[in-house]
Structure 1
């Protein structure tokens, strides 16, 4: 196992408290908007987009079509992440985050304003796809960029706490979207399908304007400013700089470790909040409100646990906190399935509340600061966005598909779901075991923490 790479504590960034507060609020609201978009589209795919945008298809095909549009956003996320990551490393984190926030906000509001198939025909689903692509392209750099800017601007001994704010934003987005959608579904069916479903999409523009008002006043990351000065000096002295491909090869080990950490965290999000919701409702015959209630309770719990464990990672380190939640997730997988098998609504809701209030947001909260500290300053934004989005596609895309395939083959059994949860959590366990501790690391260095740790041994 690796030891802490901290030798002497580097100085805190030259960021005032008001500037740091603006960066924190900006990151919170930006991540809230992304996950509000994500949750709203997931809910609308099942209930609204099929009949309104694909009315000529059978209900099953319409649902598949609307989910296909949803998936298109994920296809472009890695591309958007790489493009904006490169811009962020060259021109600054702040400008990218302003652009990505604007793209997501405009696209989300646009979905709320879209005419239906009955009004403009085939142009309706075509525009829905276009807006979803814009949404996904911008979202590809939002969460990683928010983490990078906030952690690079934070006091050294409080990076874990401030990095966890991004996870708090994801909680806020999911909670707001779920509450709004639940309230609107109380409308008569005709009113809901006519205008009710549009309300939360249109309201997202309020979050966008508030976040933009704050983000335009956020100071650029001091770490980036220093890296920019070094790059200008190297150019003036005609020092040849390695290409991004060379840098990527040199960071291969950091990539693999970070990818394992990301897969362990991200797979559970899509398995629990995505696949398991439908699977539990289908197998137990319970009303879906039981599961969504558990998720909402867990989300509220997360508002308390995320800052606490972010702060704990500043005291104990990133590795022990991440490993603790990963081990809990592995050990809880089989008991969770057995508890779901009881069919008791309160017990099932409690299982989802434990997942959503415990490992899911806290693994991401710790990851937000750990991955920023893991990479060197020169290409940190590019590598962060690449890892997050590739990890999302691999784990978030594959885990539910593998679970669904196994359940289809091995019917009337819970163990395939538990096995998939454990195997993907194992990827996070391996990544965390072999990654170095980074608490207190100097973020201005261009060397990855893995290489720095090796040099100190």
Structure 2
């Protein structure tokens, strides 16, 4: 007879063992896939801020062209929840490995094709239509990529190192951001502006195909998640239907499964949503809109915007694993409280430093703001949301929560910020207000939640 267990009980040793080589392969797979996703989106966000307003929306006024360019960035986030639902459910039904192969292939192909698009001057309105179409496909594939990578690493890693190992997903975001920013910095530093506009902007998108091919090859040789294989509702590599699960759990008196099937995870949904909402909102403003703000509103050279992201991303190679390591030792709930409190403290001074236009202070302000308010919670988030949800629908719920929160916070945030700053005649105050609201939302739910660190991931019930 199966007895009830605390959903926050410590993890037990899995029956299905994976070697250190398997763990390394899974870590590299998650790192590469997430690097490609964030490289794709950072390539686009930098292009949207620096050149796309001239290439695809040249028929509009300068201010409106920037707003429309930011809006196409947001379009990708509209498709992401659809991809999260489709691929997330598929991942819970047939396994993580196959779905992660599908997502990276779709996402990478769409990004590469952006590099061969015609411009507005060449084909008129067809150019922005094609751009939006590829952004939708890119978003559809990306909707379950980072969620799947986080789930896979959380389910692969030893419980006492889960935060550190899963932080490699965060390093992937950092590598992608760094690589994209480095390519743009090289282009802006070696080409005159007319060449960048004429053909140079295509190079980063086409070059991303190299990373995609390597990541696909790694995933073809990846073993399935041991937690997925151990799920009681998985038979011959495929999940049973709800009716079959209920019948089987009833026959076996499996109270854990029966409770999971009947329980509505309201608190788990609210907590995970606002943890993601806070981080995603900060990310959209700092990694997307703030680049445009520094270039157009503060009239800093375009190369400065790319270089400041590079420096901050390099610092992030220390920040991300350090926060993951601390989460394993101090608990992820406690680390969320520390990190988001620190974000609230640094927002105003960091933004004032950036607004000063002094290059040294611009760099200091951006690095501090980016590492505290974006990279630190991202390191915690990649393991926290998978840990919060139960084994049966972990991929689905993780992907849906991440992407719905991202649509609301990250997809809309840069557009609202661009319009609000324009109405406020270039003031940085609207950015500060939005960053405070985003950070406060994550802090409040972290205080409200019960700690979920290191729980048994084979448990079908949510942590709260």
TM-score, structure 1 normalization: 0.89
| Alignment-derived partner of residue 234 in structure 2 | 229
Between the aligned partners of 1:239 and 1:197, the Cα distance in structure 2 is: 57
Between the aligned partners of 1:399 and 1:114, the Cα distance in structure 2 is: 27
Shift of residue 437, structure 1, vs aligned partner = 1.4
Q: Out of 133-142 and 265-274, give the one that drifted further.
A: 265-274
- Check conservation: 1:259, 1:431, Cα contact below 8 A: no
Between the aligned partners of 1:61 and 1:337, the Cα distance in structure 2 is: 25
Q: Residue 274 of structure 2 is aligned with which of 242, 260, 264? A: 260
Q: Residue 312 of structure 2 is aligned with which of 298, 315, 318? A: 298
Q: Out of 24-33 and 336-345, give the one that drifted further.
A: 336-345
1:108-152: per-residue Cα shift (whole Å, max 9, x none)? Answer: 111112234555555443332222111110001101011001111
Between the aligned partners of 1:368 and 1:292, the Cα distance in structure 2 is: 26
Shift of residue 337, structure 1, vs aligned partner = 3.3
| Alignment-derived partner of residue 365 in structure 2 | 351
Asked if 1:148 is matched to 2:151, the reply is: yes
Between the aligned partners of 2:428 and 2:172, the Cα distance in structure 1 is: 32
Asked if 1:218 is matched to 2:222, the reply is: yes
- Check conservation: 1:264, 1:424, Cα contact below 8 A: yes
Residue 164 to residue 198, structure 1, CA distance change in 2 (3 Å):
same
1:328-387: per-residue Cα shift (whole Å, max 9, x none)? Answer: 001112222343454422012101011223331121111111111100011111111111
Q: Residue 201 of structure 1 is aligned with which of 186, 193, 205? A: 205
Q: How do 1:24-423 residues align onto structure 2 when only pairs under 5 Å count?
A: 24-117=27-120, 119-120=122-123, 122-185=125-188, 186-227=190-231, 228-229=233-234, 231-232=239-240, 235=244, 238-239=247-248, 250-281=264-295, 284-404=298-418, 406-408=420-422, 410=424, 414-423=428-437
- Check conservation: 1:302, 1:358, Cα contact below 8 A: no
Between the aligned partners of 2:94 and 2:216, the Cα distance in structure 1 is: 19
| Alignment-derived partner of residue 463 in structure 2 | 449
Size of the aligned set, in residue pairs, is: 443
| Alignment-derived partner of residue 24 in structure 2 | 21
- Check conservation: 1:5, 1:436, Cα contact below 8 A: no
Between the aligned partners of 2:342 and 2:394, the Cα distance in structure 1 is: 30
Shift of residue 252, structure 1, vs aligned partner = 1.8
What secondary structure does 1:113 align onto? coil
What secondary structure does 1:250 align onto? coil
Between the aligned partners of 2:271 and 2:358, the Cα distance in structure 1 is: 39
- Check conservation: 2:46, 2:291, Cα contact below 8 A: no
| Alignment-derived partner of residue 10 in structure 1 | 12
Report the aligned-residue RMSD: 2.7
